[in-house]
Amino acid sequence: MPTCPALMISAPASGQGKTSVTAALARAARRQGRRVRVFKTGPDYLDPMVLERASGHPVYQLDLFMAGLEACRQLLAQAAADADLILVEGVMGLFDGQPSSADLAAAFGLPVLAVLDASGMAQTFAALATGLQRFRADIEVCGVVANRVGSEAHGRMLTQGLPENLPLVAALPRQDALSLPERHLGLIQALEMPNLERQLETWADAWDQVTAASGQSALQFARPVSFTLSSDEAANTATYAAQPLKGRRIAVAQDACFSFIYPANLDTLKALGAELRCFSPLAGEALPECDALWLPGGYPELHARALTGHPGFFASLRSHLQMDKPLLAECGGMLCLLDQLTDIEGTTHAMASLMPGHARMQARLAALGLQSLAWPEGKLRGHSFHYSSLDTPLQAASRAHNPNGGRTAEALYLQGSLRASYVHHYFASNPEVVAAFFNRDRSTASHHCPPP
């Protein structure tokens, strides 16, 4: 029964500074010689890139909808067997969504450290913090971090009204050096931040300085948690053991344009027996010899000129589809296949013209939400988050279901051996379905989807 000290870092809302605090904690603990593993609650690609650099290890998702309780338990147990400390960054606000970060904390008994943006408030800080602590009896909010504090006097005001069992662990100053650059999808990708290593050290220095002054340590609240595995994943285990993709070569586009890749997805393909061949279209690398291809999401609108500067990439995609080889295109990967893509400045770029349609970037968020999408082979879970709108004459083969009842219900498009959607799929939610698609054969492929 693996046991390891664990702590969740959450907040009352997005934008409070969860990622910077989690990264600071991870880097500070790592500098002390601890073996740290960090997880991210819910669907996210950008925060984990930063947290991976802070901790020195890949960051996996803990999502009770996409992965399920037992898969989350297995990930935690694997980390506990190899680490001295587990940190879990929450998603959005502590109680937002179904399932929420609070649901995850309750499921595994994780104590919660709350991060609040203290700018523009004083004694109200304590009211918000105690509200988080008392809202649900099945979780423990054990301490609070004040972010973007204006001065020492401001920090002292923030402690007024805090109960003894909810200490102010740290008061982090408001400094540009402690902020991360952002763009429309959130944080800038870690690989686009040449000074990230220096920034992580700055965060850890600031964290050590303020906690030394306060005499508090967030790690004193990290509670040893045991993660007992069950046998409820027998079906998936049997699928992996059979290795239905053994001998299959799957090419994966992976660079600054195609970067929205869950580590669990790569693990799933490998566990199914596939040989992965990653390549960079932006660098002009040729499509490797392969039996199937995955174009993940990312930022084609930022790299459209670079992509069109390597015409061999689009030509190789055309040849791949003409040979009836499976191609999965998700979100940004799908946009690359269209006739045209108009970026946020209004410039229209000719794309691969392998899927009819025109996408336009917009300033406002177009879609957001967890998704359950019916493929011809069965259902897969994932999420949607994009700022583009799509016009295409293709009819949706199926539409996703949002478990939270939101408006986002993404389409699945089928065209020959091409499968495309705005959904970012979580392969481990149904590895049998993933294996069936990447083993697709024209004579047995079906274009009919089960109901969502």
pLDDT band at 96 (very low <50, low <70, confident <90, very high): very high
Confidence at 442, pLDDT banded by 50, 70, 90: very low
pLDDT-derived band at 452, boundaries 50, 70, 90: very low
* pLDDT single digits (tens) 266-309: 999 999 999 999 999 999 999 999 999 999 999 999 999 999 99
Give the predicted TM-score (pTM) of the model: 0.90
pLDDT bin (cut points 50, 70, 90) of residue 447 is very low
How confident is the model at residue 231, as a pLDDT? 55
Q: Would residue 331 show up in a list of annotated catalytic residues for this protein?
A: yes
Q: Which of 329, 53, 79, 36 is nearest to 203 (CA)?
A: 53
* CA–CA distances in Å: residue 394 to residues 8, 354, 371, 419: 43, 12, 20, 12
How far is Cα 405 from Cα 98, in angstroms, rounded to an integer?
A: 10
Banded pLDDT at 179 (limits 50, 70, 90):
low
**pLDDT score recorded for residue 446:** 44
Which listed residue (4, 257, 331, 336) is catalytic? 331
The average confidence (pLDDT) of the chain is 90
pLDDT for position 312: 94
**Contact status, residue 303 vs residue 361, Cβ threshold 8 Å:** no
Structural domains in the chain, CATH included, are 3-226 (3.40.50.300), 235-438 (3.40.50.880)
User: What residues contact 207, with CB distance under 8 A and at least 6 apart?
Assistant: 21, 24, 25, 28, 170, 172
The single residue listed with the structure tokens 């149904």 is 430
pLDDT in tens, 296-345: 999 999 999 999 999 899 999 999 999 999 999 999 999 999 999 999 99
User: Residue 320: exposed, middle, or buried by beta-carbon count in 10 A (0-12, 13-18, 19+)?
Assistant: buried
Q: How confident is the model at residue 180 (pLDDT cuts 50, 70, 90)?
A: low
Q: Which residue has the tokens 């050290």?
A: 201
Q: Which of 152, 216, 136, 206 is nearest to 176 (CA)?
A: 206
Q: What pLDDT sits at residue 135?
A: 97
